Amino acid sequence: MLGTYSRILLAASTLLCLQSQMAFADATRPSPETLDYQILAEEKHDSRSFTQGWEIAGDFIYESSGGYGRSFIRKSEYPKATIALEKRLPANWFAEGLTVIGDRLYLLSWRQQKGLLLDTEELKPLAQFHYSGEGWGLCHMDNAIYMSNGSGTLQIFNTRFQKQGELSLPSSDNGRAWQNLNELECAKGLIWANIWQEKRVIAIDPQTGDVKFQLDLKALGSSMKSSDAVLNGIAYDDKQDAFWFTGKLWPKRYLLKLNFPEEAAPSAQKADQ
């Protein structure tokens, strides 16, 4: 029989072997396929908006803008983007991501660890909900709400904002862990995420966390020089099966048609409203 010391050495060797195998698997995992796209339209966007959340629901597009003392939530007619309603938020509130489910809008705050539930008609606050840590991006799919916090892990909540679990991204990005997931959009059966301070968007499998596709959007907003003016804003138009992209303080928004490989094309659907 093995002695205690031998058993410890065996266990340690086994653990090191497993860790090496996992590290090798991540290091050799191929980078997600980069999708080509066509720009279908280029429209004006409010350059005062520090865009944090952006989502089309019915005949309106909803946008949240961040910053202490200047945060607001806006409802605009779609596709004209004519402002229908805008509500300022308290000075101590730093607005973050949003998502719309039915006639309810969920709005995150950055570091307050609480969010607002508003009605979509008048943007009137109905209730508050709470969560741990920072709130960044938000989207929903199949009655699950996904929240980013700047890490490589998404938090999963039900519609009462009770935490149900987490979704970690196992794929490595050229040997690096995925980090800085920001604004989210649930569309075509995938979770689309901006990478903070990069002009890149990734598409995440909601079941496994694998990164299926990525978009290189360096061609968009090329005139923006401010370090704050980062790509951040994804809104899917299910009627056109195309995505709008914009950024914080950007004067333009861009409608893109994505070209998926035929064998891996996701369905043309938006998350249930």
Domain ranges of the chain: 23-264
Q: How many CA atoms lie within 13 A of 60 on its CB side?
A: 20
**77-103 pLDDT, tens per residue?**
999 999 999 999 999 999 999 999 999
**pLDDT confidence bin for 260, thresholds 50/70/90:** very high
Check pLDDT > 80 for residue 8: no
What's this model's pTM, rounded to 2 decimal places?
0.87
Q: What angle do CA 190, 43, 188 make, to 5 degrees?
A: 10
Average confidence (pLDDT) over 240-261: 98
In the predicted model, is pLDDT for residue 31 greater than 90? no
Residue 2 has pLDDT above 60, yes or no: no
What is the assigned CATH class of domain 23-264? mainly beta
Identify which of 224, 265, 269 has the alpha carbon closest to the alpha carbon of residue 245. Answer: 224
Q: What is the pLDDT of residue 225?
A: 78
Per-residue pLDDT tens for 103-132? 999 999 999 999 999 999 999 999 999 999
Report, as an integer, the average pLDDT of 204-212: 96
- Among 129-133, 185-189, 207-211, 265-269, which is the least confidently predicted range? 265-269
Mean pLDDT of the chain: 89
User: Of 12-21, 39-48, 206-215, where does mean pLDDT reach its minimum?
Assistant: 12-21
Instruction: Check pLDDT > 60 for residue 179.
Output: yes
% of the chain at pLDDT higher than 70: 86
pLDDT of the residue at 66: 98
| Mean pLDDT, residues 4-13 | 46
Region 39-63: mean pLDDT is 98
Q: For residue 222, what pLDDT band results from cuts at 50, 70 and 90?
A: confident
Percentage of residues in the chain having pLDDT higher than 90 = 79
The pLDDT assigned to 272 comes to: 57
The CB-based long-range contact list for 39-43 (8 Å cut-off, 24+ gap) reads: 39/254, 39/255, 39/256, 40/240, 40/242, 40/255, 40/256, 40/257, 41/254, 41/255, 42/252, 42/253, 42/254, 42/255, 43/81, 43/252, 43/253, 43/254, 43/255
Residue 269: pLDDT over 90: no
